[in-house]
């Protein structure tokens, strides 16, 4: 058994740009309005606030229906439909696509950690479409799949946890599973990429906690956000002083 590099990925705006929509409700007229997730992120703070979006709200159960298992009016599974539609466009590759493809090509153990609500089987089928289309030669070597808003997954990780807490728990679970399968005594590396800056903060916290628990392993965080695209390694206080000094020397020349 040899050391491994483990890759953890979010899906949306990270591996893939998908046309999945959030559905808003006009509380005065009953009208429903659908928009892409990145569009929704730009206006969600204004929902219910006097102004353009004051009459609009998230219908709690239905707003995110396309992010869970289910079929549209044509009988297509939402996620499979959206991957197929995305592959018909020119800009379906997310900022971490090349890293994802590299991990598949090199048969690196790979985990998917997403806030979506799909079952593991649906996510596997969706990524299999990338194989069928010839964009990757084979299915990933899945270490684990955690769609943390899925009811079954929430119960597994901790039904009392917030979405952020669930993602942190999923990261820790993936690290521990990797060590269990590939050897706890080897100097493995773990890295996760995500586009959401709030998620980057929680990933950093989770990786720091893992670093403190496993100081002989290496942990990386990759931000693919348009405003802050970076890769950073997590060092534990005091235990990595020599590495920190080396990094400073390299930075300042």
* Residue 243 predicted with pLDDT over 70: no
pLDDT at 253: 43
Per DSSP, the residues of 115-159 read S----HHHHHHHHHHHHHTTSSSS--EEEEEEETTSHHHHHHH-T
**For residue 172, what are the CA distances in angstroms to 116, 122, 190, 240?**
18, 23, 11, 21
pLDDT at 163: 85
Residue 192's beta-bridge partner residues? 8, 221
pLDDT at 242: 56
Q: What is the DSSP letter of 108?
A: -
CATH architecture label of 5-16+93-252: 3-Layer(aba) Sandwich (3.40)
pLDDT digits (tens, 9 = 90+) for 83-133: 999 999 999 999 999 999 999 999 999 999 999 999 999 999 999 999 999
Confidence of residue 141 (pLDDT cuts 50, 70, 90): very high
Q: Taking the model in full, what pTM does it have?
A: 0.88
Which helix (H) or strand (E) is 213 found in, with range?
helix 197-213
Domains of the chain, by residue range, sit at 5-16+93-252, 21-91
Per DSSP, the residues of 178-203 read HHHHH-TTS--EEEEEES-HHHHHHH
Q: Which residues of 85-123 are buried (b: 16+ CB within 10 A; e: fewer)?
A: ebeeeeebbbbbbebbbebbeeebbbbbbbbbbbbbebb
pLDDT at 59: 84
Alpha-carbon gap, residue 171 to 167, rounded angstroms: 6
Question: Contact at 8 Å (CB) between 207 and 234?
Answer: yes
pLDDT digits (tens, 9 = 90+) for 202-228: 999 999 999 999 999 999 999 987 766
Residue 56 backbone phi and psi in degrees, to 5: -110, 145
Confidence of residue 246 (pLDDT cuts 50, 70, 90): low
* Helix, strand, coil % in the chain, rounded to nearest 5: 40, 20, 40
**For residue 57, what are the CA distances in angstroms to 26, 43, 53, 63?**
6, 11, 8, 9
* Residue 251 predicted with pLDDT over 60: no
Q: For the purposes of burial, counting CB atoms within 10 Å of the CB of 230, is it exposed (0-12), middle (13-18) or buried (19 or more)?
A: exposed
* Residue 252 predicted with pLDDT over 70: no
Looking at per-residue pLDDT, the higher value among 243 and 85 belongs to: 85
pLDDT digits (tens, 9 = 90+) for 148-189: 999 999 999 999 998 888 999 999 999 999 999 999 999 999
Please state the rounded mean pLDDT for residues 57-72. 91
User: Which tokens hold the place of 11?
Assistant: 């899906």
């Amino acid at each position: 058994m040899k050391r491994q590099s483990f890759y953890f990925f979010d899906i949306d705006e990270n591996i893939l740009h998908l046309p999945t929509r959030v559905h808003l409700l006009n509380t005065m007229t009953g009208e429903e309005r659908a928009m892409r997730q990145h569009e929704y992120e730009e206006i969600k703070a204004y929902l219910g606030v006097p102004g353009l979006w004051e009459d609009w709200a998230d219908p709690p159960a239905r707003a995110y229906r396309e992010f869970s298992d289910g079929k549209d009016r044509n009988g297509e599974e939402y996620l499979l439909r959206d991957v197929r539609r995305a592959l018909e466009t020119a800009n379906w590759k997310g900022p971490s696509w090349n890293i994802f493809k590299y991990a598949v090509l090199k048969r690196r153990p790979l985990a998917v950690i997403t806030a979506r609500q799909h079952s593991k089987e649906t996510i596997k089928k969706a990524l299999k479409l990338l194989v069928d289309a010839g964009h990757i030669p084979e299915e990933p070597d899945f270490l684990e799949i955690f769609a943390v808003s899925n009811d079954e997954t929430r119960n597994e990780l901790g039904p009392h946890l917030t979405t952020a807490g669930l993602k942190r728990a999923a990261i820790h679970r993936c690290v521990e599973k990797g060590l269990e399968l590939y050897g706890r005594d080897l100097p493995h590396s773990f890295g996760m990429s995500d586009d959401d800056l709030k998620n980057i903060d929680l990933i950093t916290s989770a990786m720091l906690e893992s670093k403190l628990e496993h100081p002989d392993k290496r942990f990386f965080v990759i931000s693919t956000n348009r405003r802050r695209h970076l890769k950073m390694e997590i060092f534990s206080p005091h235990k990595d002083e020599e590495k920190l000094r080396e990094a400073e020397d390299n930075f300042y020349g």
